[in-house]
Amino acid sequence: MTEPAESSIDASRQENIARILESAERLFRHYGYTKTNVADIARDLGMSPANIYRFFSSKTEIHQALCARMLEASYQQAYEIARLPLSAPERLRRYVLAQHRMTVETMLDEQKVHEMVVVAIEQEWHVIEKHLDRIDRLLAGIIREGIEAGEFAEQDPEIAARCFGASIVTLCHPQIVAQCLAKENRPTPDELIEFAVRALKK
């Protein structure tokens, strides 16, 4: 009997992983992260929990994979904005507004999704740190181009990127955004973005 080609095995594995993640995300959104277990995911897919464990060692690992997928979507959005043929200040404005919108719509619109994000942040998973490092590098690239074009003052782009990110954290950090949405004594997204961009021009 001819053994299946390695590429077909890989494709089948990726398909199963995708099915598991889609089921897990659907159940997490509906019932909440803490109220969903691996047995629930297996039941939803019509398979045994043992089959789930062939691909993921735990519910935490499934959650980490979902978190990585969500962060990748966030990064891709930022990457596409960074490549736009616009001035550096305008790209930074669009980046922050897009991230804020994604945070509100994707991470806060449904309470169950927010629960998933909070758990991930509290666990300080490496996927989040890796994402932040990638975003910092992307912002540093935009700022460097802005410096070269005379749009920003001479400065260290890497340090400026970290400081810029820290200055707009209230617009992108899910827990802080959730706390600030209903507050009237907070700057608007546009006000905060203009302040942060203006600081790069000094």
Note the pLDDT tens digit of each residue in 33-73.
788 899 999 999 999 999 999 999 988 889 888 888 888 88
Q: CA-to-CA distance for 83 and 142, rounded, in angstroms? A: 9
pTM over 0.85: no
Amino acid making up residue 163: C
Q: CA-to-CA distance for 183 and 174, rounded, in angstroms? A: 15
Of 112, 85, 92, the closest CA to residue 29 belongs to: 112
Q: CA-to-CA distance for 130 and 32, rounded, in angstroms? A: 25
Question: What is the model's pLDDT at position 112?
Answer: 55
Q: CA-to-CA distance for 105 and 78, rounded, in angstroms? A: 16
Taken in order of first residue, the domains within the chain and their CATH numbers are: 1-57 (1.10.10.60), 60-201 (1.10.357.10)
DSSP result, 60-103: HHHHHHHHHHHHHHHHHHHHHHHTSSS-HHHHHHHHHHHHHHHI
Estimate to the nearest angstrom the gap between the alpha carbon of 196 and the chain centroid: 21
Question: What is the model's pLDDT at position 1?
Answer: 45
pLDDT < 70 stretches in the chain: 1-9, 106-118, 120-125, 175, 178-183
Question: What is the model's pLDDT at position 8?
Answer: 60
